[in-house]
């Protein structure tokens, strides 16, 4: 009576290719000489968020980047939501829709090369934010340093057969 369910005919993406693509986006730019926007997500209970944003800006400046803007998303500042205070607004973008839109506008207006998030991003969040922002979205701990870029260039030379 019922027709048997058939397998989806779309070709499957290989998981290794997906991982490589998102890693390539993050490593495609170098911090030195880049214009970056710093984005922070903080709980309403965290009172020292300004110092953390300043510290991140100093770290990026020390790495050779120029900070062109800052966005702060705070959760639990207004009434209600005390139980959800430590949770992100969105599991996909970490931020609320309005803050994502504000980040897009800041990055376009300042012509930022990347958005650097203080909070560690999952692969899914990094991919979604990179697609939405139109530029690499990386966490501060994952931002490439001069050493990692030099190591990646050496690895590329070795893999292509150019030893030196």
pLDDT digits (tens, 9 = 90+) for 108-154: 999 999 999 998 898 888 999 999 999 999 998 887 765 544 444 44
pLDDT of residue 7: 58
Please give the model's pTM, rounded to 2 decimal places. 0.69
Over 90: is that where the pLDDT of 22 sits? no
Structure tokens at 23: 């890693």
Q: Which whole number is the average pLDDT over 59-72? A: 93
Helix then strand count (H, E) for the chain reads: 5, 4
Q: Which residue has the higher pLDDT, 83 or 147?
A: 83
Question: Band of the pLDDT at 93, cuts 50, 70, 90?
Answer: confident
Of 125, 44, 127, whose CA–CA distance to 91 is shortest? 125
- State the average pLDDT for the chain: 76
State pLDDT tens for residues 33-50: 889 999 998 887 888 999
pLDDT at 133: 92
Whole-number pLDDT of residue 152: 46
Cα–Cα distance, 125 to 144 (Å, whole number): 18
* 125, 102 contact by CB (below 8 A): no
């Amino acid at each position: 009576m019922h027709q048997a369910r058939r397998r989806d005919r779309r070709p499957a993406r290989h998981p290794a290719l997906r991982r490589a693509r998102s890693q390539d986006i993050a490593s495609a730019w170098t911090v030195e000489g880049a214009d970056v926007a710093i984005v922070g997500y903080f709980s309403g209970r965290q009172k020292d968020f300004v110092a953390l944003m300043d510290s991140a800006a100093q770290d990026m400046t020390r790495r050779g980047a120029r900070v062109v803007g800052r966005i702060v998303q705070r959760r639990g500042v207004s009434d209600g939501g005390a139980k959800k205070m430590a949770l992100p607004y969105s599991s996909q973008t970490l931020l609320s829709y309005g803050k994502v839109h504000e980040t897009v506008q800041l990055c376009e207006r300042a012509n930022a090369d990347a958005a650097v998030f203080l909070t560690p991003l999952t692969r899914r969040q990094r991919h979604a934010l990179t697609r939405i922002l139109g530029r690499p979205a990386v966490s501060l701990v994952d931002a490439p340093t001069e050493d990692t870029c030099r190591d990646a260039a050496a690895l590329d030379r070795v893999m292509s057969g150019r030893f030196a």
